[in-house]
């Protein structure tokens, strides 16, 4: 009966409706329920996750033996593959070495059988053309070539202006070596080198006197030099290629008509 009176008496007061039979209404409880929330601290919901305990399972001891066997098998396989690779490399190196030795021996044998020799040159004629006294003359030097190689042919042709003619230290002009092709043992090849005097240079007095004085013959010493790449061939095979330098020192009786070669010395150098 006393509870019923409490419910009835609280019908007019909404603050008393929140009370329960287990929590009797008191002035202290009423003050707690009517307190506003703290300023600046909004109500929020937090989720806290607690990790589960981690349980580690200890593998059985026989698993260690299985893993060890797999490791040993992998190591042995790697060693076998390395051994195979090293064997292949050694075999390839031996084959290449044998091939190199055979090729070197074949080249050496061919070199000794077909020993390349430089061709021999001799000056056979000199002809000088000059339109008028003091004008730049043209010097035609005729040479004869001999191929001393009995089993190899030769072929040579120079670049532009590879030939020079000098009187003492004075350059008389430049010219082109027309080239030469000879069969094995050929000694009948004749060719001419045309030397054109420089227009800006004056003809040396001694040379001019030897050209213009037809009654009194004046001897002149000259030097001819020309360069050319030289190729040695057997049939259609080109065996060697060398650089050839020819120096001919010769003396003529006169540079006018009736020139005769009094002496000469031609040297051929291969490099």
Q: pLDDT at residue 92 above 70?
A: yes
Binned at pLDDT 50, 70 and 90, residue 263 comes out as very high
Whether residue 131 has pLDDT greater than 60: yes
CB atoms within 10 A of CB 25: 18
CB neighbour list of residue 223: distance below 8 Å, 6 or more residues apart? 165, 166, 167, 247, 248, 249, 250
pLDDT score for 9: 41
Mean pLDDT over residues 2-16, rounded?
Answer: 43
CA-wise closest residue to 262 among 124, 159, 57:
124
Residue 227: closest CA among 150, 158, 133 = 158
The two beta strands, 138-146 and 153-156, are: unpaired
Per-residue pLDDT for 199 more than 90? no
- b/e for 151-184, b at 16 or more Cβ within 10 A? ebbbbbebeeebbbbebeeeebbbbbbeebebee
- Tens digit of each residue's pLDDT (9 = 90 or more) over 158-187: 767 789 999 999 999 999 888 899 999 998
Query: CB within 8 A of 271, min separation 6: which ones?
Result: 242, 243, 245
- pTM for this entry: 0.60
Q: Using CA atoms in the order 147, 149, 154, 158, what is the torsion angle rounded to 10 degrees? A: -60
| Cα–Cα distance, 243 to 158 (Å, whole number) | 10
Domain extent listing, the chain: 82-113, 118-268
Q: What percent of the chain has pLDDT over 70?
A: 68
The tokens for 71 are: 């490791």
Lowest mean pLDDT: which of 43-47, 48-52, 104-108, 237-241?
48-52
The continuous run of DSSP H or E covering 101 comes out as helix 62-113
In this predicted model, what pLDDT tens digit does every residue of 227-256 receive, in sequence order?
999 999 888 778 788 999 999 999 999 999
Does CATH number 2.60.120 belong to domain 118-268? Answer: no
Instruction: Classify each residue of 93-109 as buried b or exposed e, where b means 16 or more C-beta atoms within 10 Å of its C-beta.
Output: eeeeeeeeeeeeeeeee
> How many angstroms separate the CA atoms of 78 and 96, rounded?
27
The one-character DSSP state at 132 is S
What phi, psi does 75 have (nearest 5°)? -65, -45
Q: Is residue 114 within 8 Å of 154, Cβ to Cβ? A: no
| Rounded-to-integer distance, Cα 87 and Cα 93, Å | 10
């Amino acid at each position: 009966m006393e509870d019923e009176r409490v419910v009835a008496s609280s019908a007019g007061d909404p603050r008393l409706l929140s009370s329960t039979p287990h929590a009797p209404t008191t002035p202290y409880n009423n003050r707690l329920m009517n307190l506003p929330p703290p300023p600046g601290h909004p109500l929020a919901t937090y989720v806290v996750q607690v990790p589960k305990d981690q349980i580690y399972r200890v593998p059985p001891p026989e698993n260690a033996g299985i893993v060890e066997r797999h490791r040993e098998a992998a190591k042995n396989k790697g060693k076998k593959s390395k051994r195979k690779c090293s064997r292949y490399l050694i075999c390839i190196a031996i084959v290449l070495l044998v091939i190199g030795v055979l090729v070197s021996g074949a080249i050496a044998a061919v070199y000794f059988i077909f020993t390349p020799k430089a061709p021999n040159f001799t000056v056979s004629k000199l002809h000088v053309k000059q339109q008028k006294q003091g004008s730049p003359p043209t010097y035609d030097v005729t040479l004869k070539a001999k191929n001393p190689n009995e089993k190899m042919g030769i072929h040579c042709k120079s670049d532009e202006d590879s030939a020079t003619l000098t009187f003492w230290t004075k350059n008389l002009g430049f010219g082109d070596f027309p080239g030469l092709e000879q069969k094995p043992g050929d000694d009948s090849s004749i060719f001419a080198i045309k030397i054109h005097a420089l227009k800006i240079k004056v003809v040396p007095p001694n040379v001019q006197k030897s050209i213009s004085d037809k009654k009194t013959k004046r001897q002149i010493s000259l030097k001819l030099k020309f360069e050319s790449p030289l190729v040695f061939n057997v049939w259609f095979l080109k065996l060697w290629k060398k650089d050839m330098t020819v120096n001919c020192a010769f003396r003529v009786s006169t540079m006018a008509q009736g020139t005769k070669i009094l002496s000469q010395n031609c040297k051929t150098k291969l490099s």
